[in-house]
Amino acid sequence: MARRPHLVARLALATSVLGVALAASPLAAGVAGAQEADAPTLAQLLRGEVAGATAEATTVPGADGAMGVVVEVTNEGDDPLAVAVPFGALLVTEDETDQTLTVTPPPTDDLIAVAASGQTPTIEFGPGTSSEQLAAYCTEMTDGYPIEEVPVSPIDDAHPVLAETLRTAAAEDVDATTTQDAVWWLTDEPLVPVADHLSGLLAVDTAAFAAAPHRVTPDTGYVPLWMREEVAAGDAIGGAGPVDEQEAAGILDESFEGPASGSGPGGGGSGIGVALWAILVGVVVIGAVVVAARAGRTTRPDPVLARSTAPGWYPDPWGGGGHRYWDGQRWTTRTTALR
């Protein structure tokens, strides 16, 4: 099963994950504080393990680059229900080519205080039916995000390294783009020296981690970018023996340590989003691509020409058939399999 490319641009992420989080949940009480001793977790709630409450979670439609998860809860009791949302909580769709999401409560003063205290934040759902939108971050840089509203269900939480990095980002109230970059540093691109905007956020010895990275999510079907480099150099994955280049590129079915629960369609309609994205990219960069092709360029494109282009994913000027992210000033190390 071929993977869909990662469709979420960093600039769109910055406005969508945080900007609509509170407005989309008028009935929810928001972050209530630190986890109480008997408060159920988000995973327990979504698995139907909480008496007197039912819940479902769906992705936010991503037509405008939005990324988030809406949790709708029916609380049959007379009192508010506090639900813990641990840092590092992971959710997946039933489509094996979709990215695994890590979620946090929406940014509020309460969340900042709880994160700084080392506690687990909770969200309160009053009697009846109410909903809350959670901020979501991609833990698989080259996997896709569903364009339509799609059910998600929990898997095992992330490694403490990722969980504590998310906690630090929440405590320091950094923007969504910076948080996403920190997540991707851990999951896919542990590069040193660490970029200035990530200094102090990564809950790990960065030099040691970059020298010997390891998975920080339990999704063993996804091949991180750092692991693909090892495979390309002839190394084995997880001691299981050599993996060919196609597998190293991530073209394989996903498998989880603990299958996703729940039911629902798996991200149908993403093909439409891919088509629209391809058309948009083609319109924006076709002129530059034609010029580069005629010139037979094999090195970095003219920065003056590229500087007039808005940030986003564009055909990789170094070839290979994929796309590379342009941040508005320079070509970054981020690439996708988008063709």
43-57, 112-126, 197-211, 220-234: segment of lowest average pLDDT: 220-234
65-74, 261-270, 272-281, 299-308: segment of lowest average pLDDT: 261-270
> Can you read off the two tokens belonging to residue 154?
């929990």
**What is the structure's pLDDT at 334?**
64
Count of alpha carbons within 13 angstroms of residue 143, beta-carbon side: 29
- Examine residue 154 and say whether the peptide bond preceding it is cis (omega within 30 degrees of 0): no
**247 has pLDDT over 80:** no
Task: Categorise residue 88: left if φ over 0, alpha if ψ from -120 to 50, beta otherwise.
Answer: left
**What is the structure's pLDDT at 146?**
86
What does the domain layout of the chain look like in residue ranges?
A: 10-224+253-265, 271-336
Please tell me which of 23-27, 60-64, 222-226 the model is most confident about, judged by mean pLDDT: 222-226
- Average pLDDT of the chain is 74
Q: How far is CA 266 from CA 43, 142, 187, 290, in A?
A: 19, 18, 23, 37
Residue 171 pLDDT level (bands cut at 50, 70, 90): very high
**What is the structure's pLDDT at 147?**
80
Q: Which residue has the higher pLDDT, 74 or 30?
A: 74
Whole-number Å distance between alpha carbons of 98 and 4? 7
Q: Which residue has the higher pLDDT, 155 or 315?
A: 155
**What is the structure's pLDDT at 100?**
96
CB 188 within 8 A of CB 228: no
Whole-number Å distance between alpha carbons of 206 and 189? 11
The position carrying tokens 């995000």 is 145
Residue 180 pLDDT level (bands cut at 50, 70, 90): very high
**What is the structure's pLDDT at 224?**
95
One-letter amino acid at 75 equals N
Arithmetic mean of pLDDT, 125-147 = 93
67-76, 153-162, 225-234, 301-310: segment of lowest average pLDDT: 301-310
> Can you read off the two tokens belonging to residue 1?
């099963």
**7 has pLDDT over 60:** no
**265 has pLDDT over 50:** no
CB 99 within 8 A of CB 138: yes
Residue 306 pLDDT level (bands cut at 50, 70, 90): low
**291 has pLDDT over 50:** no
pTM listed for this prediction: 0.65
